[in-house]
Structure 1
Amino acid sequence: MSNAGRLEWTVPGAERVTITVEGPQVTVHAPTATVTISSEPKESVVLNGPPADTFLGNLRPEAKYITTWPGTGFTNDVMSFMNMIYLAILTERVPIMPFFAPSHIALGSSDYIPDIDFGQVFDAPRLAKSLRIPVLEWWQVKDRNSTTVEPLGCWNVWQAVSPNHYEHHPTRGSPERMNLDISWTIAPKWIKVYNDENADDEYHMKFSALMALAFPEQRSHNLGTPSTSPLLGMSLPPNEQLFCLDSMYWTSNLEAHEFEHDYSTAWRFVGKYLHWNPRIEELARVYLRGAFGLAPGAPLPHYIAIHVRRGDFADWCPRTMPVDECFAPLSAYARRVEEVREELQRARGIEVQRVVLTSDETNATWWEGVAAYGWHRIDHSTTVATHSAWHPVLIDAAIQSASIGFVGTDLSTVSLMADLRVKTWQDGEVRSVKWGKLGADDH
């Protein structure tokens, strides 16, 4: 191959033939042979076979892997998993994706809410193809019905970044559900982004530091004393083949909350390729048609989506301030919607009439105010019964992602992810509404 996509081939007794490959595959017929040339990477064999009774029995001896656990709420776990996949790229390891645990979904509910597989939420094959690396899920590695308890040594980064943490980050029972018995080793304090004494409440750690721990030199220098696993009573150092961390949400290169910045590596190298499972995308279209009063299968018009985060954000409001003064009024969102609408018209000649609002607010009077603006609302009255308790959140997020314009709530990671998806996938226009005091979003 002399250049990318070009092959020079000499047939005995014939002149040299130069073939340029413009697509992923081309077939060339010669008088005595048929040659197929493909630019697609050969799929790697990264497991010994189908889901096994033990995960160790299914890992290939020549391969190395990486995993982490859920436990920070759905959207934060999505960001944690993006960080983990980016670290997999840096360390040349195969990511093993956990399922999502209903840590936020289950709040206020007495019903049992099961976990949901990564691949039921996101298009894992499309992600692997875009990244050109294998992407596994835990159910592919270890049989869901296996009762074999296996010990595993993992890094505890949560205690390393703050002396106020007295154990590893909560994993919402995820390892236990796969009969994994974890022995934790506290990572070195130098993994922190901020190491000054006043930064004890700043939990961010550096990609480069975690990368170093995945290799023998720094691993051997920082083993420390592992904790005793709860089931088998074993003390194990971090596994060398399966690099395992309790959480990766607070991970960055330079400064905290890197997803908020335009250089975010985890977003640019991973997140932008993490598309919704096609089933979720189709449900989003179905629910949108219902909200807009369109016939089944009708084409969807351009629309602006709003995400208003309220709910638990009230805990961040000063106790002396009424919640309605702390949260931004609907008029602030309306002003931002008009800015988005005007910019879409000015820059792209797109007129947008429809606006759909998603929110965790349950107050009926507040929703009457939404209706007064003529904005649409997604009807989730039967979603849980028809699909699952996960689906209202997933459908709303897919609806936000597919909008041509988006207005979110400042400090909400749900809004942040929608903002990034709309800008990247739709080349859309976005705004964020500030809150926390009266007039916080005033221009």
Structure 2
Amino acid sequence: MFKEDLATSAKLAAFTLLSPPAAGARAGPSSSSDEPGSPSQRAVFIASPSAWPTTDSARSDSPGWGSAYGFGRRNRAATRKGAGHLTQGTYKWAAIATLLLLSIWVILPGGSHSKDRVHDITDGDAPRFNKSLVLQHAEPQETFFSQLLPGVRYITSMSYGGHANQFVGISNLLYVAKITNRVAIIPTLMPLHFSGAPQDLTVFYDLDRFIRESGIPAVLQSDLKPFSSDPAQLTTEKISCWSILERVAGNRNFNDGSMMVHGMDVRNWPLPFESGPMMWAEKVQEFDYELGERLAWIKRVNKELLPQETALPAQKPGDRPLNRHETLKDGFDPGRNDPPTDQMFCLDNTFFLATRVFPPAIPPSAPLEPLRSYEGQGWLRAGQYLHFSAHLEALAERYLVSLFGLWTARSIPPFISVHIRRGDFEQARGLTAIDAFKDAVQRVRDRLDRRMDDPDGWAGAGHELQRYFDGVRGKDYAVVVTTDDKMDSDFVRQIRSELGWKVLDHDKMQTIKKYGEWYPTMIDAAVLARGRGFVGWNGGVEEWTPSLK
């Protein structure tokens, strides 16, 4: 699109937002969509209609437009002034010279058509999201709100639960950003099941690639304001957030650490929806769109002091009746706090958002594999484009090379990945027998054989990405296990000696010592996602991502 005019670029931008990327866009690290200059890297998202350049502004602001436009004016003036003194040959050579100059202008980076407003090509051939479109300053600021640009609408949330829950919540946040035309501010990742410091999403995921492939503009919360292990050293700011969790679980999100580490003091506001186990993302979209109804709801919340506790403490005869300020739910005080603004649409939780997915308009010729219960729009429109970072992928390859005793990553054989969680499950749910995992692995082998024999005998997610190896049947696939069990336990010894399965050993690899507390979890996730088939506990959120990937 470097050589297309401005109107065509605008049409392409709209088309990119409405159309899914090419099939290859979802492939792994070796996908051709990673090549510089590929269509998936040239997707354009205009953050706000007010930010679209007009032809006149492009002429005045861009060096390419200015030089070419000025050259044309001077050339016309000179021609009018000295027309009687120019021969026909002079006109001919002038025309040729003009065409050559214009050709060079179109090709050279200085031409306006070569300037990609959304991707700032500053790091070799890897396009990066141009954050100046959505942030005031290139560097994080002392205050969060000083980074917001007038005319740009944002959406943010808080991290919730362990990493798997946080990934689902961030995927849903990015989807809601897409359907509301807002810029997503991604919350900082927080440790839950282990000690360690907060981390930016970009340590483990490729955000620039996500933006190129999904068309959803997003920045880190750390791009606005840094986090600190001692938030008292930061400027404290208030931020008001709509509480999804109050409608889902009865009270606000107490897990607000991802805001606290940035010096953000959360003030909660209720939503006007019915309570239930989940909340429709489309309801949130409608609430954002209907500004008048939102303002009326804010007025009602202030007047009635909502939300009120339903179970009030028992009172003795003669006790003073409690006023509505005293019976507000914990963490809510609308009369003393400003409501969330239209520019900064903050939600306290996005993990509990549900989405509607309809079957294809034209049924496929082959049987359609049904979507999993957790395979919603958050995954289909956003999460699947959150690829692991090159740094994490390299570590996953290094661990697999070591696990199989190889020299290079090219020699890693196809394998089935298995996640066995035992530590906290022993008390909470009981342990699953090893025979259950053996049976599940065999079912995966059988399914691989059926798909090898009839690749077009099914339809559904991942069909276009299926790859098989000549002469390699399901029985030949290795099995790679990640588990939180002790490496010297009878269970792990049995897996290794009797079944011949490979078990990732973070003690042997000294993962925590070399890389930190986050890395056993994140390397496991990257390794599991590389499996050609997956076995995990049915119902565990940590199984969702590897099974979908």
Q: TM-score interval w.r.t. the shorter chain?
A: 0.7 to 0.9
CA distance in 2, matches of 1:94, 1:118: 16
Matching residue within 221, 226, 247 for 2:296 = 221
One of 431, 438, 458 as aligned partner of 1:334:
438
Q: 1: distance between equivalents of 2:418 and 2:506?
A: 16
Is residue 2:487 matched to residue 1:375? no
Deviation string for 1:284-331 (max 9, x for gaps)?
A: 0111111111125553121111112233233443xxxxx3xxx33222
Amino acid in the other structure paired with 1:394: M
Q: CA deviation at 1:4?
A: 7.8
Letter in 1 for 2:246: Q
Q: How many angstroms does 1:378 deviate by?
A: 0.9
Q: What is the match of residue 118 of structure 2?
A: 42
Q: Tell me which structure has the larger Cα radius of gyration.
A: 2
Q: Which residue of 1 aligns with 2:199?
A: 116
Displacement after TM superposition at 1:115 (Å): 1.0
Q: In structure 1, how many angstroms separate the alpha carbons of the residues matched to 2:38 and 2:484? A: 48
Find the partner of 2:237 among 121, 126, 150: 150
Structure 2 distance, partners of 1:221, 1:161, is: 22
Structure 1 residues 262 and 391, CA, compared in 2 at 3 Å: closer, same or farther? closer
Q: 1:38 to 1:392 in 2, by over 3 A?
A: same
Structure 1 gaps, min length 5: 8-20, 107-111, 193-201, 318-322, 422-443
Q: Using the aligned pairs only, state the percent identity.
A: 26
2:433 maps to amino acid: P
Q: Which residue of 1 aligns with 2:525?
A: 397
TM-score by length of 1: 0.76
Pick from 469, 479, 483 the counterpart of residue 355 of structure 1: 479
Aligned to 2:411, the other structure's residue is in SS state coil
Between Structure 1 and Structure 2, which shows a larger proportion of helix residues?
Answer: 2
- The residue aligned with 2:248 is 161
- Counterpart for residue 68 of structure 1: 157
1:125 and 2:208 are equivalent in the alignment? yes
> Could you say what secondary structure the match of 1:418 adopts?
helix
Deviates more, 1:152-161 or 1:356-365: 356-365
TM-score between both structures, scaled by the size of structure 2: 0.62
Partner of 2:277: 203
Distance 2:398 2:371 in 1: 30
Mark the CA change 1:176 to 1:97 in structure 2 (over 3 Å): closer, same or farther. Answer: same
Q: Which residue identity is paired with 2:531?
A: S
- Distance change >3 Å, CA 41–CA 339, structure 1 → 2: farther
Superposed CA offset, 1:16-74 (max 9, x none): xxxxx99578xxx9534122556967346100112111111110011011111112211
Residues 1:141 and 2:141 are matched in the alignment: no
305-314 vs 258-267, which moves further: 258-267
Aligned to 2:272: 188
Q: Which of the residues 85, 88, 94 maps onto 2:174?
A: 85
Q: How far is the alpha carbon of 1:388 from its aligned partner?
A: 0.9
CA distance in 2, matches of 1:407, 1:41: 43
| Length, aligned pairs only | 373
Letter matched to residue 219 of structure 1: R
Structure 2 counterpart SS, 1:161: helix
CA contact (8 A) 2:236 2:265 kept: yes
Deviation at 1:94, TM superposition (A): 0.4
1:39–1:205 distance in 2 versus 1, CA, 3 Å:
farther
Q: CA offset at residue 234 of structure 1?
A: 5.2
What do residues 383-429 of structure 1 show as CA deviations (whole Å, max 9, x unaligned)? 011101110010011001111121121111121211100xxxxxxxx
Higher strand content, 1 or 2:
1
Distance 1:130 1:22 in 2: 11
154 and 203 in structure 1: CA distance in 2 versus 1, 3 angstrom threshold: same
Describe the SS at the equivalent of 1:307: strand
Structure 1 contact 153–183 (Cα < 8 Å) conserved: yes
Q: Conserved in 1, the CA contact under 8 Å of 2:140 and 2:222?
A: yes
Q: How well do the aligned residues superpose, as a CA RMSD in angstroms?
A: 3.0
Bigger Cα displacement from structure 2, 83-92 vs 130-139: 130-139
CA 1:100/1:143 → structure 2, altered by over 3 Å: closer, same or farther?
A: closer
Kept in 1, the 8 Å contact 2:159–2:187? The answer is yes
Q: CA contact under 8 A between 2:174 and 2:216: conserved in structure 1? A: no
Q: Closer, same or farther in 2 for the Cα pair 1:280/1:171, shift >3 Å?
A: same
Q: For residue 96 of structure 1, what is the amino acid of its counterpart?
A: I
